[in-house]
């Protein structure tokens, strides 16, 4: 190719930004446009990480430095498959990397899961993080709530539900979220894990943060604190597993503390049915499990009904199929070979690549995305040597002219910086780092001021 490489990245979360970073470092003349359906960058870092996790949100600083590179351009408020199609992108770019992540809730196939009062944790996280495409109100009416899952999202959701709203006033939560949490009558949050304490997926830091609130008593119910040989092997081999187990064991035997709200942790309890009455949640039924020697579990047949009025499932994220692209519904991923998108016959679709959770599934921490994106970029550059399909109109202005011609209110990196400054200014009078703007129209208006 006798001109600089032009690449589109679909998705401005960590996977997409890391892919752009890998590309411009590997090819000193390449340029990258990162397109996202939201008016803002950062994906789940902005809309999935709980607002009382400032350390994790500091990852934004590293992503910001990448986006500041003049060879990377952000084009927000552009929905792939709606505002622009694959064949249209091929006019402007030599290759496209799909990095749309995973933002939906994985299903939990048990009776009653669709009752009123049964929610997905990802939807709830979108609400308390001020996502522009979810309703402004959330039905926080339950005094006792069940959270199903043993990962970081489960403990995030449990912590946000259990904390008082005033404790979150130092964070970036929007006012509608504060008002909703302020009115919540919750007294008890019950977190259920199907397996034992040595198989939990949350990190020691996430676990410790459950115990930081002066208004919440964390109660570990000792009945499920059991270990088999597989559990003991995991404790011996993995430092963070041992740390989590030590914390849980200490909490299980400590003296009670008189606090107005309680957060209960149960192990070896598998959900088997959400109980309902008149179409609403009135309880959760679980089956006690026993360890099988290798860290896995089997049911004992012993059932327990818990009188809760709301259930949140935190059993994993799921990617969404994209128009005109192959999709494996069982894994929630786009079929690929080292990042090269494959068609139904297993052949590489020229010019199409994939990175991040929609490539490998919603597993691993944010840092794992770097290696995943690097593999994809390596494949792309190898294909460049053998000849990519060159774009018809690869100039920097052509795609912007096309998108604006469709009447889209585009947002840019400069526009994001305006919105960023605006949100920071909203927080300053209240000694808060920022206050998020929620409505999409308001975000685009500020960005285009």
| CA-angle at 379, arms to 374 and 385, nearest 5° | 125
Nearest-angstrom CA–CA distance, 415 and 449:
8
10-34 residue pLDDT tens: 999 999 999 999 999 999 999 999 9
**Tell me, what's the pLDDT at 57?**
65
Q: Does 380 lie in the same domain as 266?
A: no
If one counts the domains in the chain, the total is 2
Here the CATH number for the domain that contains residue 340 is 3.40.50.720
Threshold 0.85, pTM exceeds: yes
In a domain, residue 376? The reply is yes
Q: Does 271 lie in the same domain as 135?
A: yes
In a domain, residue 197? The reply is yes
**Tell me, what's the pLDDT at 238?**
94
**Tell me, what's the pLDDT at 395?**
85
**Tell me, what's the pLDDT at 393?**
80
| Token code pair at residue 104 | 């939906």
In a domain, residue 74? The reply is yes
Here the CATH number for the domain that contains residue 247 is 3.50.50.60
**Tell me, what's the pLDDT at 309?**
98
Nearest-angstrom CA–CA distance, 323 and 154:
31
Could you give the angle at which helices 368-386 and 14-26 cross, rounded to 10 degrees? Answer: 50
Per the structure, the complete domain to which residue 119 belongs is given by 104-317
**Phi, psi of 306, rounded to the nearest 5 degrees:** -110, 125
In a domain, residue 288? The reply is yes
Q: Does 269 lie in the same domain as 167?
A: yes
**Tell me, what's the pLDDT at 388?**
76
**Tell me, what's the pLDDT at 389?**
76
Q: Does 211 lie in the same domain as 110?
A: yes
Q: Does 206 lie in the same domain as 133?
A: yes
Residues of the chain with pLDDT under 50: none
**Phi, psi of 337, rounded to the nearest 5 degrees:** -130, 105
Using an 8 Å Cβ cutoff, are 14 and 43 in contact? yes
Run of H or E including 256: none
Last residue of a domain, one of 264, 292, 317: 317
420-440 residue pLDDT tens: 999 999 999 999 989 999 999
Q: Provide CB contacts within 8 A for 315, sequence distance 6+.
A: 105, 106, 108, 148, 149
Q: Does 189 lie in the same domain as 137?
A: yes
Using an 8 Å Cβ cutoff, are 173 and 180 in contact? no
In a domain, residue 285? The reply is yes
Q: Does 138 lie in the same domain as 223?
A: yes
Last residue of a domain, one of 289, 317, 345: 317
Q: Does 215 lie in the same domain as 89?
A: no
Q: If you write DSSP's letter for every residue of 277-321 in order, what string do you get?
A: ETTEEEEEEEEEEEE-SSS-EEEEEEEEEE--SEEEE-S-EE---
**Which residue, among 175, 264, 257, has the nearest Cα to 224 in the 3D structure?**
264
**Tell me, what's the pLDDT at 367?**
67
In a domain, residue 109? The reply is yes
**Tell me, what's the pLDDT at 87?**
85
Q: Does 96 lie in the same domain as 16?
A: yes
């Amino acid at each position: 190719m006798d001109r600089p490489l032009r690449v589109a990245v679909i998705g401005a979360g960590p996977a997409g930004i890391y892919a752009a970073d890998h590309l411009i470092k590997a090819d000193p003349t390449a340029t990258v446009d990162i397109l996202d359906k939201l008016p803002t960058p950062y994906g789940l870092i902005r809309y999935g990480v709980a607002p009382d996790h400032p350390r994790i949100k500091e990852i934004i600083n590293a992503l910001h430095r990448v986006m500041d590179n003049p060879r990377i351009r952000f084009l927000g408020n552009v929905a792939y498959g709606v505002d622009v199609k694959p064949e249209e992108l091929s006019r402007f770019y030599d290759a496209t990397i799909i990095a749309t992540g995973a933002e939906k809730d994985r299903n939990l196939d048990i009776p009653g899961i669709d009752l009123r009062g049964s929610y997905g944790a990802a939807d709830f996280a979108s609400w308390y993080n001020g996502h522009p495409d979810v309703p402004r109100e959330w039905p926080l009416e339950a005094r006792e709530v069940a959270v199903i899952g043993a990962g970081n999202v489960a403990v995030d959701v449990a912590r946000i539900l259990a904390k008082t709203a005033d404790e979150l006033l130092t964070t970036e939560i929007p006012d509608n979220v504060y008002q909703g949490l302020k009115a919540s009558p919750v007294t008890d949050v019950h977190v259920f894990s199907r397996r034992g304490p040595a198989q939990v997926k949350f990190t020691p830091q996430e676990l410790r943060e459950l115990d930081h609130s002066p208004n919440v008593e964390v109660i570990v119910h000792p009945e499920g604190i059991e270990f088999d040989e597989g559990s003991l092997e995991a404790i011996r081999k993995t430092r963070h597993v041992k740390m989590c187990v030590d914390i849980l064991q200490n909490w299980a035997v400590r003296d009670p503390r008189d606090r107005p709200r309680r957060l209960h942790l149960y192990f070896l309890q598998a959900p088997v049915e959400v109980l309902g009455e008149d179409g609403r949640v009135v309880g959760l039924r679980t089956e006690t499990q026993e360890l099988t020697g290798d860290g896995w579990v089997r049911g004992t047949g012993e059932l327990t009904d818990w009188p809760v009025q709301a259930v949140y499932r935190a059993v994993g994220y799921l990617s969404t199929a994209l128009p005109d692209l192959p999709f494996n519904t069982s894994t929630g991923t786009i079929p690929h070979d080292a990042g090269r998108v494959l068609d139904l016959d297993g052949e590489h679709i020229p010019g199409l690549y994939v990175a991040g959770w929609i490539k490998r599934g919603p597993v691993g921490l944010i840092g794992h995305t770097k290696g995943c994106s690097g593999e994809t970029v390596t494949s792309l550059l190898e294909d460049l040597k053998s000849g990519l399909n060159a774009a018809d109109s690869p100039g920097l202005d052509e795609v912007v002219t096309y998108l604006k011609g469709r009447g889209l209110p585009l947002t840019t990196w400069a526009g994001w910086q305006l919105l960023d400054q605006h949100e920071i200014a909203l927080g300053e009078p209240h000694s808060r780092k920022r206050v998020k703007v929620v409505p999409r129209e308001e975000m685009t208006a500020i960005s285009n001021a």
